[in-house]
Chain A
Amino acid sequence: MSLLQTEKLTHKYSPGTPFERVAIADIDFTAEKGECIGIIGHTGSGKSTFIQHLNGLLKPTAGRVYYDGIDINETKDTKIRFKVGLVFQYPEYQLFEATVFDDIAFGPKNMGLSEDEVKERVHEAAGFSRLSDEFLQKSPFELSGGQKRRAAIAGVIAMMPEVLILDEPAAGLDPGGRAEIIENILAYKEAVNATLIMVTHSMEDIANTVDRVILFEDGAIAMDGAPKDVFSQGDRLTAMGLAAPKAAMVAGRLRQMGIPLRNDIYTMPQLRAALNHLKI
């Protein structure tokens, strides 16, 4: 069995009221150890609802979620939250401690680790997020937006989850901040061979990082495959109100103009290499 798996996962919000809404329906999904998955989809397509089921924060209306072969909604074990780490959208809004150090320590403390272990975890996580010791002693509210975000992400990384899930980790940051955040996350993933699931609006963010793309539409999985397969369907993406990565779009346009380019190009380096190869 896969590390993480869902079976016919369905979630309704406010069932039995006039506000009832089916957010996701019949989702079958698997993730293997060490996989790096990008989830894309229009706002309201059910991405956030879906990922909150993966560590048991939301209970399914129907269907099951398995972690390592165990149905997480059947066991009493709450450790699943530490094994599947979830970083919410705008995680900086959940900072609450007096210092960044204490805030990062919140998760490890809840795991029941000893003081020394907690300290070690905090420094390790701060290392991935490139927060210096000086930062650790500051109040979270003195930091810039990007720094706050990195501190909040470190708070989840400090639990050393086997699966790290992030909801729009780079939303609302400048390009430099975006790149930094993605780098931090990948550093953690590489170091412990974690499974990484990243929800995002930005194709550019995932084009260069993930090895599988899942596309949500109207509460269901509309596409699931290698980035080159998903991004080569530029027209379908456009129809769903999404845009393929810029490199894929440029390559598509050039193909239309009769330039012989393969249709699995979706990052700038690939495009550059292919164009150099043409030697026009």
Chain B
Amino acid sequence: MLKNITLGQYFPGDTVVHRLDPRVKLVLTLVYIVALFTAQGVVGYALMFTVLVTCFALSRIPVKTVLRGVRPILIIIIFTAVLNIFFTQGTVVFEFWIISVTREGLYAAAFMVTRLFMLITGTFLLTYTTSPIALTDGLELLLNPLKKIHLPIHELAMMMSIALRFIPTLIEETGKIMQAQKARGADFESGGLIKRARAILPLIIPLFISAFRRADELAIAMESRCYHGGEGRTRMRVLKTHFRDYMALFGGAIILAAVIMLRRVLP
């Protein structure tokens, strides 16, 4: 049950994609999203698809993992397809009772599904190849200018990294408590809605208690090491941009330009 949570999970590795500066990866992901929504027509999509596949190949993430990650959003994808197929006006190719399917509807559905699928897998690539800590570090540095207008960027980033840091811990803990209660005959799997909701109490209560205990301990541990917010704080791992980062940014710019050009040339 708890094994299915791959959505946004880090997949350790040591490839070019993994080694890119997280700031660069964040920016490139944005560029990718913009390009994806700008792309038009078969050629545009083919180009974006090639980019996506190349990036995945470079990062050596197995196809199986990618597909497993998409599974939770399959419903949304199917829903989008159905909406597009049945509710787009145009030349009718198929009619049955009150349902009519149009050529435009089929095209729109195909494009929307491809776009959604590429959007999700593309953003997964970021979280698959970037450790949560690197990700929040990169985010904090990118958003740094917003500190000028007194947005608590450091605090937000710190909260995010703590949350990310404790997700696996909490999952592990949930598993342990579940096992322990099962050993006392607790049944989490059968019964109706009310029975199941009640059955979850022996799990939730210890989990909350332990989460509060951990939060308390963490706060004390941070304070006893003189943590006092972002002011004047230096970093252990200073992010450095390399040649490959500039190359990646350059590549991203070219692809974006190409997509915009294609839109002009092939309307």
The digit string for B198-241, where 1 denotes a CB below 8 A from any CB of A, is 00011001100110000000000000000000000000000000
- Determine which residue in B183, B186, B210 has the highest number of CB atoms from chain A within 10 A of its CB, and name it: B183
Encode B151-190 as 1/0 by CB contact (under 8 A) with A: 0000000000000000000000000110111111111000
What interface size band does chain B fall in?
20 to 34
Q: Which residues of A contact B182 (CB under 8 A)?
A: 57, 81
| CB pair B177 A110 closer than 8 Å | no
Q: Is A110 a contact partner of B185 (Cβ separation < 8 A)?
A: yes
Interface SS of chain A: helix, strand, loop or mixed?
Answer: mixed
Given contacts A88-B180, A91-B180, contact A110 B205 (CB under 8 A): no
Least CB distance, A78 to chain B, in whole angstroms: 8
> Does B41 sit at the interface, judged by CB under 8 A?
no
B201 touches A81 (CB 8 A): no
Q: Is the CB of B176 within 8 A of A88?
A: yes
Interface residues in A71-91 by Cβ distance below 8 A to B read 78, 81-82, 85-88, 91
CB-defined contacts of A87 to chain B, threshold 8 Å? 183
Flag if A94 contacts B12 (CB, 8 Å). Answer: no
Which B residues lie within 8 Å of A14 (CB)? 3
B11 contacts A by Cβ under 8 Å = yes
Closest to A94 in B: B180
Given contacts A93-B177, A93-B210, contact A156 B185 (CB under 8 A): no
Note all chain B residues with C-beta closer than 8 A to A52: 179
A123-159 residues at the B interface, CB under 8 angstroms: 141, 155-156, 159
A254 within 8 Å of B (CB atoms): no
Of listed A88, A93, A95, A107, residue having the most chain B CB within 10 A = A93
CB-defined contacts of B206 to chain A, threshold 8 Å? 93-96
Shortest beta-carbon distance from A271 to chain B in Å: 38
A111 interface contact, C-beta 8 A? yes
Query: Do the beta carbons of A94 and B185 come within 8 Å of each other?
Result: no
Residues of A within 8 A of B186 (CB): 106, 110
Quick check: B183 and A110 within 8 Å, CB to CB? no
A159 lies within 8 A of B184 (CB):
yes
Q: From residue A112, how far is it (CB to closest CB) to chain B in Å?
A: 9
B205 to chain A, nearest CB (A): 4
For chain A, the count of residues having a C-beta within 8 Å of the partner chain is 27
Q: Is the CB of A96 within 8 A of B202?
A: yes
Are the C-beta atoms of B11 and A18 separated by less than 8 Å?
A: yes
Report how far A18 CA is from B186 CA in the complex, Å: 32
CB B258 to nearest CB in A, in angstroms, measures 34
- Distance in angstroms from B209 CB to nearest chain A CB is 8
A88–B3 Cα distance when bound, in Å, is 21
Q: How far is the CA of A107 from the CA of B182 in the complex (A)?
A: 9
The answer to whether A106 and B180 have CB atoms under 8 Å apart is no
Q: Which of B11, B179, B187 makes the CB contact (< 8 A) with A88?
A: B179
Least Cβ–Cβ distance between B215 and chain A, in angstroms:
15
**Cross-chain contact of B202 among A91, A106, A159 (Cβ < 8 A):** A106
| A272 to B197 Cα, complex, angstroms | 59
Partner of B183, one of A17, A85, A111: A85
Residues of B within 8 A of A17 (CB): 65
CB interface residues, A 149-176, toward B, < 8 Å? 155-156, 159
- Which residues of B approach A to under 8 Å, CB–CB? 3, 11-12, 65, 176-177, 179-187, 201-202, 205-206, 209-210
9 A-B pairs in the complex with CB atoms less than 8 angstroms apart:
A14-B3, A78-B187, A88-B180, A88-B183, A93-B180, A95-B206, A96-B202, A106-B185, A156-B183
What are the 7 tightest A-B residue pairs by CB atom distance, in nearest-first order? A110-B185, A96-B205, A107-B184, A86-B183, A94-B180, A88-B180, A96-B202
